[in-house]
Amino acid sequence: MMATTLLERIRSKRARVGVIGLGYVGLPLCIAASRAGLSVIGFDIDDSKTKCLNAGESYIKHIPGELVADLAASGRFEATVDFSRLADVDAALICVPTPLTKHHEPDLSYVVNTTKAIAPHLRAGQLIVLESTTYPGTTRDVLKPILESTGLVCGKDFYLAFSPEREDPGNPDFSASRIPKVVGGEGEEASALANALYATFVVRTVPVSSSATAEAVKLTENIFRSVNIALVNELKVIYAAMGIDIWEVIEAAKTKPFGFMPFYPGPGLGGHCIPIDPFYLTWKAKEFELSTRFIELAGEINIAMPAYVVARLAEALDRRSRKGLNGSRILLLGLAYKKNIDDLRESPSLKLISLLEDRGAAVDYADPFIPVIPMTREHADVAGRKAVALTAEAVAGYDAVLISTDHDAFDYAMLVSSARIIVDSRNACRSRGHDAPNIVAA
């Protein structure tokens, strides 16, 4: 009976949705659900975020302020730090981080703490959905016991599901509502309810048999990318030793209309998924006494890329200026993990700064999306450092420029004409038609 009542509320768009975690995943969900006509409450522990959203202001650069202004003015959205308001929602979507520990083991503290925050306000007839990427079994084995400690029974009194986030920050072609949503529940009723909820505001739902299967889908997607990026990164190193341009190889190979999918090398992996998610599966596999050699090898190759880029930069300085890294002035271009966004999570640029400074270089950076480096868990030593203005005179004063992130806003013609050496880890210059002897691929 409760499931039928909730299903009717969802289908009639009378259901109120709570989104917990108003970051790169949660905020787009709020926008998509509200624009579809659902009433949404956004929850976050950061009061500065809730105040921004209630004032109609965006704090994520690739999410236009107009969208947030429309969200705030819709009458269907409010943001709060008051988690007691969870009792007012029919469905709660959990969108919190799932990082790794220093030992590359899953850190589920955000998920656990959020679930514990939900429990005191859990009521009969609610749907709880985890969106945070994690290992298969988390929804069933971690969330379910915490929520059932209230005395309510999963599948009878409340409903539990997993639907992995598939955000691609900064991609204008795929907003949250335009990306198909994989949905798996703990039981048929939970699956049906979660499927119906997402069907109200995404282009298509993809039901699977269980929450564990949905969790495995997300890991598979990102492991696929990690392994293929590792492959082209390894090919980059091999072909560079042979005097062959990996970028030219990929451009030619992708003309084959079948059997090939282009992936591109870089200075290392960044973002909230690909550098992290594969290790969730390698950790879980140990429980079954299974090794994940292929996945771990891909991780080792990708982790080694920042050191390879630094080695290429050191070699370029040795050969072209007869000056080592120690005492050199380096300008790093791009701090975000991918172009045209302000997302710094797991960015290889931070590792590059650390490696360069460990070898005695003085490093400045330029990034129009990140004017000041925020506090991060692993690179607190550079927090507060400010971006430099990117002028021809400033560029000419550095011993080398290292392109880590290929933002479109950079003036590549000016960089090529002004820099003594450009070490380009993204093929940013040549892909835009700028070629010169001072450019070194990395």
pLDDT single digits (tens) 8-33: 999 999 999 999 999 999 999 999 99
Mean pLDDT across the stretch 227-243?
Answer: 97
At residue 117, the pLDDT reads: 98
Q: Identify the CATH number of the domain defined by range 2-212.
A: 3.40.50.720
At residue 247, the pLDDT reads: 97
pLDDT band at 318 (very low <50, low <70, confident <90, very high): very high
At residue 257, the pLDDT reads: 96
Mean pLDDT across the stretch 410-435?
Answer: 97
At residue 166, the pLDDT reads: 93
At residue 403, the pLDDT reads: 98
* Residue ranges per structural domain of the chain: 2-212, 304-442
At residue 378, the pLDDT reads: 83
Mean pLDDT across the stretch 224-250?
Answer: 97
pLDDT cut 90: percent of the chain above it: 90
At residue 147, the pLDDT reads: 98
pLDDT band at 437 (very low <50, low <70, confident <90, very high): very high
> How many Å apart are CA 326 and CA 330, to the nearest integer?
10
List 30, 52, 273, 429, catalytic entry:
273
> How many Å apart are CA 220 and CA 227, to the nearest integer?
10
| Whether 429 is catalytic | no
Residue 397, token pair as written in the block: 């004063």
pLDDT at 412 over 90: yes
pLDDT tens sequence across 126-180? 999 999 999 999 999 999 999 999 999 999 999 999 999 998 887 888 888 899 9
At residue 304, the pLDDT reads: 96
pLDDT band at 295 (very low <50, low <70, confident <90, very high): very high
Mean pLDDT across the stretch 372-395?
Answer: 93
At residue 200, the pLDDT reads: 97
Mean pLDDT across the stretch 347-361?
Answer: 97
Identical fold between 2-212 and 304-442: yes
At residue 169, the pLDDT reads: 82
Q: Identify the CATH number of the domain defined by range 304-442.
A: 3.40.50.720
pLDDT band at 270 (very low <50, low <70, confident <90, very high): confident
At residue 275, the pLDDT reads: 82
At residue 291, the pLDDT reads: 92
| Residue with the two structure tokens 């795929």 | 174
User: In the predicted model, what is the mean pLDDT of the chain?
Assistant: 95
Position with higher pLDDT, 319 vs 112: 112
At residue 168, the pLDDT reads: 83
At residue 104, the pLDDT reads: 82
At residue 162, the pLDDT reads: 98
